[in-house]
Chain A
Amino acid sequence: MSILTTQNLSIGYSKKGKTSIIQSDLNLRLRAGELVCLIGPNGSGKSTLLRTLASLQKPLSGKTLIDEKEISKLKHREKALLISLVLTERVEIDNTTVYNLVALGRHPHSNWWGNVTDEEDDIINEAIKMVHLEHKAHQNINELSDGERQRAMIAKALAQDTPIIMLDEPTAHLDLPNRVEIMLLLHRLAHKTQKAILLSTHELDLALQAADRIWLISNNHGVECGVPEDLVFNGFFNRAFESKAYFFNAANGNFSMNYPMTKSVWVSGDKTRMYWTLRALARAGFMVVEDAKVHILVTEIGWEIGDKLIPSVEELLLELEQSL
């Protein structure tokens, strides 16, 4: 079931009568219970699209519908009951605990005085529990680590209790364990709560693993939507991230660098050591060719060139340098 759809949406900026269109004629669908990752190179309009869908920014043309209602015609509060946001802006508030921060998410639901009833209290605590911050609920947000802070902001969005959550680069500034944790958390939340979660990210490999669906945005080819694996098979990734310096390696879902390869060797042998050996050779500028002049035999304990046994990659590269 799709919650949010766009009709011929064009996004971009218009300043002093000058319009610059970033993407046009977008027809997108966001479904309930799915984690969607919006990825693409810098300048392709990830943030602009997200901000436009969240109606923080006006579209140049076209419209965004949520449950058949046009979002630009909704009142502020009605919007806040449909979409909650996690943004890149750093929130600095003195003397605010995690609990108080998450409680702000209840704003669109509460009366003007904003009292926390027992029922509200339950929702707030539940949201904190979902992001595993119970033990820090009454700690000042300035004392949190970056990962915890981001989780607190996600809890705030959860407390807002909207069918859609949008996150702008939620994993930026986080270290790898925290990035993985946030992605996993969002994936689980989407499935558990049946919310539609849309996030923009630079983390291609994480997005490929965690996303139910990917919106791949590129500078010249618009937005391609689909299950991550389909986009890989169709070669859309290579097209979106076109470059001479690297290519999208469909075999492992990573980017591989295009090294200038001028020399050639022939490699055969042990499979587990092969992958890393090939990486090192490629970086040093060796192309692997069958029946090349120099032959490297990869064994379980090292490398053999002719009869010479070489114990480490460093020495292997040195040896090759000298022999060629």
Chain B
Amino acid sequence: MKNRFPILFFFLFLVTIGLFFADLAWGSIHISISEILLVFFGKGADGINSEILLNFRLPKAITAILAGASLSVAGLMMQTLFRNSLADPYILGVSSGASLGVAVVMMAASVLPVSFVSSGWALILAAILGASVVLLLVVGVSFKVQNAVSLLIVGLMFGTIAGSLVSVIQNFSNPDAVKLFIIWTFGSLSSVTWSYMHVLLPVVLVGIGMAFFLQKRLDGLLLGENYARGLGVSVVRTRILIVIATGLLAGGITAFTGPIAFVGVAIPHIARGLFRTSSHKILLPASVLCGAALLLVCDIISQMPTYTLPINTISALFGAPIIIWIILKRK
């Protein structure tokens, strides 16, 4: 039984590595694997290809891995927190909260010091704050609303409110900032430059680290609040930590890539289906790998046509059917 896990992990790891290189190689300009390896080992062959690889495709592929891993882990934690298999950062309005934070920074940026805004820290802090506030509100409501579908509708409403506030801000902003924001909402993995990576990577690592730190308590929470208390889990503290970790992951990623739909809800289910377990010790790393692999696939598809497709569109094509499948399965 248990020997299955290492084999599956090894297989998933290989797939992810394979997709990572495929993502580097394919695109509007094809770069061969041998060329990629040459560039990596510092023997950069041709100047343009090495430029494309190092400053465009490599950060993009790394961002795909980080985004996939973060959103999946955030989704997994939220599904356990709300004991609701349909919970995910996008559906429950957390991404919209992050958007609101981003909108405030992007379009009201004239007030803030330039160095703060351009380093990416302002963007990410605002997004994390926005994400956490919405998440706290949803947690608050979840005490009153037990019904799974009702909670989703409440999350949707919070998302709508955040969206409306964004529209209000847009109305009062200058057209250039609005255009910048609209492009951001399409979602793109390529906007993360190396300087942004310095900001994003630590935030994501802290978030995922927290998730792993909480894995045992997350297992306890699966039994429900009272049983978890009975097992010695301090439920309130754990909830707060989950909110912070989810805010860091969902907010951090959304700040730079824009909202990416359905990865958070779909991947934990794929991980559960593959590993047939509910233990977070297994599901967390499984979600990291599956999420990274899925977003790499999405990115490969999105860069295939001459004009790059928005990543959000591709991920929705994968994720939305999975949600329909979950709802049908529950009947």
- Chain A positions near chain B (C-beta within 8 angstroms): 54, 56, 75-81, 83-85, 87, 89, 91-96, 100, 104-105, 107-108, 110, 112-114, 138, 160
Known: A104-B220, A114-B219. A95 touches B278 (CB 8 A): yes
Q: Is the CB of B229 within 8 A of A112?
A: no
Q: Which of B85, B231, B278 contacts A108 (CB 8 A)?
A: B231
Of the A-B pairs whose beta carbons lie under 8 Å apart in the complex, a sample of 23, sorted by A's number, is A83-B230, A84-B230, A85-B226, A85-B227, A87-B224, A87-B227, A87-B230, A89-B226, A91-B222, A91-B224, A92-B83, A94-B272, A95-B275, A95-B276, A96-B277, A104-B219, A107-B216, A107-B220, A107-B231, A108-B232, A113-B216, A113-B281, A160-B230
Known: A94-B278, A107-B220. A89 touches B227 (CB 8 A): yes
Most-contacted residue by chain A among B215, B223, B234, B278 (CB, 10 A) = B223
Q: How far apart are the CA atoms of A80 and B224 in the complex, in Å?
A: 15
Q: Is the CB of B231 within 8 A of A160?
A: yes
Residues of B within 8 A of A92 (CB): 83
Q: Which of A75, A96, A100, A104 contacts B231 (CB 8 A)?
A: A104
Q: Is the CB of A76 within 8 A of B279?
A: no
Q: How far apart are the CA atoms of A321 and B278 in the complex, in Å?
A: 65
Residues of B within 8 A of A100 (CB): 277-279
**Interface digits, B208-239 against A, CB 8 Å rule (1 contact, 0 not)?**
00000101100110111011011111100000
Q: How far apart are the CA atoms of A233 and B310 in the complex, in Å?
A: 80
Instruction: Check B7 for interface membership: any CB of A closer than 8 A.
Output: no
Q: Is the CB of B1 within 8 A of A138?
A: yes
Q: Is the CB of A104 within 8 A of B229?
A: no
Q: What is the distance, in angstroms, from B301's C-beta to the closest C-beta of chain A?
A: 29
Known: A91-B223, A93-B223. A77 touches B232 (CB 8 A): yes
Residues of B within 8 A of A114 (CB): 215-216, 219, 281
Q: Is the CB of B226 within 8 A of A87?
A: yes
Residues from 1 to 24 in B contacting A, C-beta threshold 8 Å? 1
Q: Is the CB of A95 within 8 A of B277?
A: yes
Q: How far apart are the CA atoms of A84 and B276 in the complex, in Å?
A: 27
Majority secondary structure, A binding face: loop
Residues from 223 to 273 in B contacting A, C-beta threshold 8 Å? 223-224, 226-227, 229-234, 272
Residues of A within 8 A of B215 (CB): 113-114
Residues of B within 8 A of A76 (CB): 229, 232-234
Q: What is the distance, in angstroms, from A136's C-beta to the closest C-beta of chain B?
A: 15
Q: What is the distance, in angstroms, from B202's C-beta to the closest C-beta of chain A?
A: 23
Residues of B within 8 A of A81 (CB): 232
A99 closest partner in B (C-beta): B1
Q: What is the distance, in angstroms, from A97's C-beta to the closest C-beta of chain B?
A: 9
Q: Which of A91, A94, A108, A113 contacts B227 (CB 8 A)?
A: A91
Q: Is the CB of B276 within 8 A of A89?
A: no
Q: How far apart are the CA atoms of A85 and B85 in the complex, in Å?
A: 25
Q: Is the CB of B229 within 8 A of A56?
A: yes
Residues of B within 8 A of A108 (CB): 231-232
Q: How far apart are the CA atoms of A113 and B282 in the complex, in Å?
A: 11
B222 closest partner in A (C-beta): A93
Known: A56-B226, A113-B281. A80 touches B216 (CB 8 A): no
B280 closest partner in A (C-beta): A114
Residues of A within 8 A of B277 (CB): 95-96, 100
Q: How far apart are the CA atoms of A80 and B220 in the complex, in Å?
A: 12
Q: What is the distance, in angstroms, from A273's C-beta to the closest C-beta of chain B?
A: 51
Q: How far apart are the CA atoms of A91 and B224 in the complex, in Å?
A: 7
Residues of A within 8 A of B85 (CB): 94
Known: A104-B219, A114-B219. A93 touches B278 (CB 8 A): yes
Extra contacts, 10 of them, besides A94-B272, A107-B231, A107-B233 (Cβ < 8 A), are: A56-B229, A78-B232, A81-B232, A87-B230, A93-B222, A94-B85, A96-B278, A100-B278, A100-B279, A113-B281
Q: How far apart are the CA atoms of A110 and B217 in the complex, in Å?
A: 12
A91 closest partner in B (C-beta): B223
Q: What is the distance, in angstroms, from A170's C-beta to the closest C-beta of chain B?
A: 14
Q: What is the distance, in angstroms, from B219's C-beta to the closest C-beta of chain A?
A: 6
B216 closest partner in A (C-beta): A114
Residues of A within 8 A of B224 (CB): 87, 89, 91
Q: How far apart are the CA atoms of A84 and B220 in the complex, in Å?
A: 13
Q: How far apart are the CA atoms of A108 and B272 in the complex, in Å?
A: 25
Q: How far apart are the CA atoms of A224 and B62 in the complex, in Å?
A: 68
Q: What is the distance, in angstroms, from A46's C-beta to the closest C-beta of chain B?
A: 16
Q: How far apart are the CA atoms of A76 and B237 in the complex, in Å?
A: 11
* 6 interchain residue pairs of minimum CB distance: A80-B232, A85-B230, A77-B232, A108-B232, A114-B216, A107-B231
Q: What is the distance, in angstroms, from B232's C-beta to the closest C-beta of chain A?
A: 3
